[in-house]
Amino acid sequence: MDSILIIEDEKDIVEAIEYNLKKEGFKIYKAYDGKSGLKQARDKNPSLILLDLMLPGMDGLEVCKSLKREKALATIPVIMLTAKSSELDKVLGLEIGADDYITKPFSMRELMARIKRVLRRWEDREKKTPGLHFPNLEIDIEKHEVRVGGKLVSLTAKEFSLLCYLAENKGRAITRERLLDTVWGVEVAIESRTVDVHIKTLREKLKKAGKYIYTLRGVGYKFRE
C-alpha cells in the first residue's frame, strides 16, 4: 500500500485530502509544520509527500531542500501545495527538487491525477535497470549515486533525475520542453533556460564525463558516448 505524508498547516485542507486519499486506498501520515513534517518523513519513509509552501517556522522550500539533501529521503517524490501561483514560485519549488506543483484552490480529482502520475513515473524508473555504466561514468539508480572515474559526485535530486533521463534515452534527441515535462514533471510555461542552467551545472560537476551530454542547437540535448 502506498503511503502519503501531508505537510500542511490548514487542518480543514488536511482532513479533506486525507478523506479522499483514504478512499483511494492510500495510507496517510500528517504533519502541521515543517519540522514535524521532516521528522515524519524520516520515521515513516512515505511513498510521496504533499508539501505546503507556506508553513509556520520552517517553510516548504526549506523542508524540500532538507529532504533532497538527505540520501535516505532524496528519492521520495514531492508535490508542492501553495496559494502562490507566480512563475517564480513554481521555478523555485521545482529547481530545489519538487516533482510537481499544484496551486490552491484545486480539485481533488486534479490532485489525485497528479499524485498517480508522479507515483507512476517513479515506479517506471524503479522497474528499469538499477544502474547505467559508461566509460568513466557510473549511475546507480537504486543508491542514487553517480561516480566519475570511480569518485563519488554530489548531485542535487533534479540534476540526478536529469542525468538519468538523458542516459536512459542514450542516442535520442530530447527537446527542452520534453525535459521540463518529464524531469520537472509539470506542463507549465517555465523558460527553457531552466534546463540550460541545470545542464551547465551538471556538466561542470561531471567534469570529463560531462562530454556525454551533447547540445543539439535549436532542439535540446542528447546523451552520446
pLDDT in tens, 183-223: 876 554 456 678 888 899 999 999 999 999 999 988 899 99
- pLDDT of 14 higher than 80: yes
Domains defined for the chain, CATH in brackets: 3-126 (3.40.50.2300), 129-223 (1.10.10.10)
Average pLDDT, the chain: 86
Q: Return the sign of the alpha-carbon dihedral for residues 180, 200, 124, 97.
A: negative
Edge-to-edge strand list for the sheet holding 220-223 = 174-175, 220-223, 213-216
- Share of residues in the chain with pLDDT > 90 (%): 48
Q: What tens digit of pLDDT does each residue of 151-192 get?
A: 999 888 788 889 999 998 999 999 988 888 778 765 544 566
* pTM assigned to the model: 0.67
42 contacts: CB under 8 Å, gap ≥ 6: 70, 72, 73
pLDDT of residue 190: 55
190 vs 82 pLDDT, higher one: 82
Q: What tens digit of pLDDT does each residue of 137-148 get?
A: 999 887 788 999
Quote the Cα angle for 184-73-19, to 5°: 80
Q: Which residues of 130-154 are buried (b: 16+ CB within 10 A; e: fewer)?
A: eebeeeebbbebeebbbebeeeebe
Q: Return the sign of the alpha-carbon dihedral for residues 167, 172, 177, 182.
A: negative
What band does 46 get if pLDDT is binned at 50, 70 and 90? very high
Strands (E), 11-150: 27-31, 48-52, 78-82, 100-103, 131-134, 137-140, 145-148
pLDDT of residue 129: 56
14 contacts: CB under 8 Å, gap ≥ 6: 6, 8, 30, 32
181 contacts: CB under 8 Å, gap ≥ 6: 187
